Structure 1
């Protein structure tokens, strides 16, 4: 039981790291879109990034929670530990969030004439991939380890 509780804690820490990494990536993309001169950048980054990254991470964690639970459970059951699977899963989770937030939640009358720009969709999918890699760094490298036997086989021939 303690192995499962420890794994659950690591998964929660991995999810927190994933949301913070995705938020930082989105904030860096937004900073790059501002077109600031290199000498202006430290003044813009210094204060607001310490506030905006955690706040945006809270929104990311809220909207991506249920698709992430499905992906995390699937990863734990399958026990795959490669970074590419987690990056693709993060991209798929963010694509599901974009679809749920923009397309499925709006009434058709409000949706007419509203087009979500393609670079925004790709930015969100890219941030999901960065979040998936951050999750892999914290928790994904040991996915499914709670199922392995803790008793190692004895010496052969005895």
Structure 2
């Protein structure tokens, strides 16, 4: 019974880490695009903070939606192999972003395709940031459910 609880707790940590990674990738994308359009991320600016309160979680929904399957594969590989280093997760986030860019290119819709190189690099960078924040929240204990035996208590 303790083993099942350990699996459920690990699954909840993975899910929460995915949410944190999606929010971090969204915040990074928002900061990059605000800087690109000439807005400074100043604490006293009256319109930037309320806009970010709405736009970061909203964009995170799209980030989480489009990155779910490739990120699930990367997370599964990390859990099975027990990878706990930040570089694996940063490169895994970059791979997830590249897979999304490939999907966007193959879909055939010209409005959905990303053609600007700076936008492609921004998406890959946001994937790396999302991977690092996933590592900070959940990746440092990857594979711990396999290494620590949890025997059931003797009656």
- Give the structure-2-normalised TM-score: 0.88
Partner residue of 2:107? 105
CA-based RMSD of the aligned residues comes to: 2.2
Q: Which residue matches 1:25? A: 28
How big is the shift at 1:142? 0.2
Taking the aligned partners of 1:143 and 1:73, their CA distance within structure 2 comes to 10
1:136 to 1:34, Cα distance in 2 relative to 1, 3 A: same
Q: How many residues align?
A: 147
Q: CA deviation at 1:46?
A: 1.6
**Residue segments in structure 2 that go unaligned for 5+ positions in a row:** 151-155
Deviations 1:36-95 (A, max 9, x none): 367797223221100000000000000000001100000000001000000000011011
Aligned residues of 2:89 and 2:132 also touching (Cα < 8 A):
yes
Change (3 A) 1:118 1:38: closer
| Structure 1 runs, 4 residues or longer, greater than 6 Å off | 38-41
CA contact (8 A) 2:26 2:60 kept: yes
The C-alpha deviation readout for 1:109-146, integer Å capped at 9, x for no partner, is x59xx870100000000000000000000000000000
Find the counterpart in structure 2 of residue 136 from structure 1: 135
Structure 2 counterparts to residues 2-81 of structure 1, below 5 A: 2-36=5-39, 42-81=45-84
Q: TM-score, normalised by structure 1?
A: 0.86
Unaligned stretches of 5+ residues in structure 1: 152-158
Following superposition, the deviation at residue 149 of structure 1 comes to: 2.9
Q: What's the CA shift for 1:150?
A: 3.0
**TM-aligned CA distance change 1:37 to 1:149, over 3 Å:** closer
